[in-house]
Amino acid sequence: GATKQATHLVEEKVKDDLSKRRLSRSMAAHAARSLITTLPYAIENHSGINAMYSIYDDPTQHPLRKSSTQFFQFELFPERGTGGVRKYGQDVKHKKSLTIYIGKAEISIDDMDSEVQKPRSAHYISDYKTHVFTSVVKRGNSTVLHLSSHVEMYNSSSLPFRIAVLGDDKVHDLGI
């Protein structure tokens, strides 16, 4: 994840000898730790489909390539008053929402923090005739939204059964 990205960035700059390479790996590990500390939220796209995302009310759509992880942070809104009041993560009262765009479909996450450890949600993407699943987990200091697709199930019993997923307040039949 972050260490691999940071190592790649540092090694692009330093290519000559072994000691510089060791130094670059050390710097990359430090950069990765800093990245996770300053950007405490992430989206991991394991859906096999390229997507876009926007944070809170910002209309800017950021690319979210398949098999990638994007780190980001939510803006801390200033308080009213003389001199202002510094806001820390636990003091923020606004919802940390984001929207994922896949084709013409929009997947809205109302509040990342309140979604942690809830069961995963299914979303039907009509452009691709498939379902994409979302789940939010805490990993260390980061809150990560997982975007996934492709579920394989094998029926080893002699009884046929149908599979459906609950998503968007509807039942989506996946078939036999």
Total residue count of the chain as it appears in this document: 176
pTM of the entire structure?
Answer: 0.61
Quote the CA–CA distance of 23 and 74 in Å, as a whole number: 32
Please report, in tens digits, the pLDDT of each residue of the chain (176 residues total): 666 666 666 566 555 566 566 666 676 666 655 544 456 899 999 998 999 999 988 889 999 999 899 999 887 665 554 555 555 555 556 788 999 999 999 999 999 989 998 998 889 899 988 889 999 999 888 899 999 986 666 778 888 887 777 766 777 776 66
